[in-house]
Amino acid sequence: MKDKVYTDIICKEFCKYYKGGKETLFCKGYELLRNNLTPSELKMLAASLKACGDIKNSIPAKSNELTKLVCRRCDFFIDGCDFAESRSGAPCGGYLIIKRLSFLSLWYLHVPQVLLHLQ
């Protein structure tokens, strides 16, 4: 089940695929962020991402590390995500935020926890 605080940031602000009323469906990007960042940390990250403009429709360069850490563990990886399948569409909001996180020092604080959740 989603947590409204996280949904308001990850899904409503950054995910072009978000539709209200589907609170039991979430991707691995959402799950990793919810499990590893406090709402305050997430808000800080979101603010840094918003400074980059409207990125909901952006298609980031391929990252084997993020594919392995995030997408391959996602329920939408097989037959449910244009980004993971062919990069013909934008990734989810969770992926976009994690991509940003990978550029910031916070990443290094949370790598051990992220890895724990992937085991």
Positions that interact with ligand SF4 (CB under 6 A): 27-29, 70-71, 74, 76-77, 81, 83-84, 91-92, 94-95
The whole-angstrom separation of Cα 2 and Cα 25 is: 8
Q: How far is the CB of 33 from ligand SF4 (least distance, A)?
A: 10
User: Residue by residue, what is the 3-state secondary structure of 11-78?
Assistant: HHHHCCCCCCCCCCCCCHHHHHHHHHCCHHHHHHHHHHHHCCCCCCCCCCCCCHHHHHHCHHHCCCCC
Structure tokens at 114: 């992220």
Between 41 and 85, CB nearer to ligand SF4: 85
Tell me whether residue 55 or residue 81 sits nearer to ligand SF4 (CB atom).
81
Nearer residue to ligand SF4 within complex by CB, 9 or 29: 29
Closest distance between ligand SF4 and the C-beta of residue 107, in Å?
A: 17
CB of 28 to ligand SF4, least distance (A): 5
